[in-house]
């Protein structure tokens, strides 16, 4: 009986903690520009479109996709760590081995992702000429 109550309390706490950030961002103006970060091909004489589709817009789209992937991997890694922690707490020898494997895999994957991003940003900063389109990745 206590285990069921504890599970319900933990579930309610996790649910509340996952909903609170969404409530706090409720009034934020969202950018619904979509995946492609430009307004399409602009024909001569057209004045309503503001963002031209050029190489810089392509690089902005690539950066947008990379940032989105980074943002989506953080909750996935968190859920994987939580699942591994639950497996580890069960105490079963098989589950402990599985949990350690999950911990290792998620940590290595996340570290590799961050190191690769740092390497790309560093190489772009060192070797790419400013205002070439690639400097979008380094935030300058």
Residue 111 placed within a domain: yes
- In the prediction, which pLDDT does 98 show? 93
Residue 76 placed within a domain: yes
C-beta of residue 59 within 8 angstroms of C-beta of residue 137: yes
| Residue range(s) defining the domain that contains residue 131 | 53-140
Residue 48 placed within a domain: no
Q: Confirm whether pTM is higher than 0.95.
A: no
Place of tokens 């649910």: 15
Q: Rounded to the nearest 10 degrees, how much is the dihedral formed by the CA atoms of 93, 95, 98, 99? A: -110
Residue 114 placed within a domain: yes
Residue 20 placed within a domain: no
- In the prediction, which pLDDT does 125 show? 75
Residue 101 placed within a domain: yes
Task: Residue count of the chain, please give it.
Answer: 140
Number of domains in the chain: 1
The 8-class DSSP code of residue 42 comes to P
Residue 16 placed within a domain: no
**pLDDT per position in the chain (140 positions), as tens?**
567 777 777 877 777 777 666 555 555 555 546 667 676 666 677 666 666 677 777 777 888 888 888 889 989 999 999 999 999 998 889 889 999 999 999 999 999 999 998 888 788 777 776 666 555 665 65
Residue 31 placed within a domain: no
- In the prediction, which pLDDT does 124 show? 77
- In the prediction, which pLDDT does 12 show? 78
């Amino acid at each position: 009986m206590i285990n069921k109550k504890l599970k319900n309390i933990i579930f309610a706490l996790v649910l509340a903690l996952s909903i609170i950030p969404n409530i706090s961002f409720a009034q934020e103006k969202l950018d619904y520009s979509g995946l492609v970060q430009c307004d399409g091909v602009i024909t001569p004489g057209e004045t309503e479109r503001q963002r031209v589709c050029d190489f810089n817009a392509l690089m902005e789209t690539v950066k947008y996709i990379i940032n989105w992937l980074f943002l989506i991997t953080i909750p996935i890694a968190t859920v994987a760590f939580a699942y591994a922690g639950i497996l580890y707490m069960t105490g079963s020898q098989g589950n402990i081995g599985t949990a350690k494997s999950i911990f290792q895999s998620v940590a290595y994957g996340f570290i590799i992702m961050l190191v690769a991003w740092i390497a790309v940003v560093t190489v772009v900063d060192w070797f790419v000429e400013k205002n070439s389109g690639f400097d979008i990745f380094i935030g300058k």
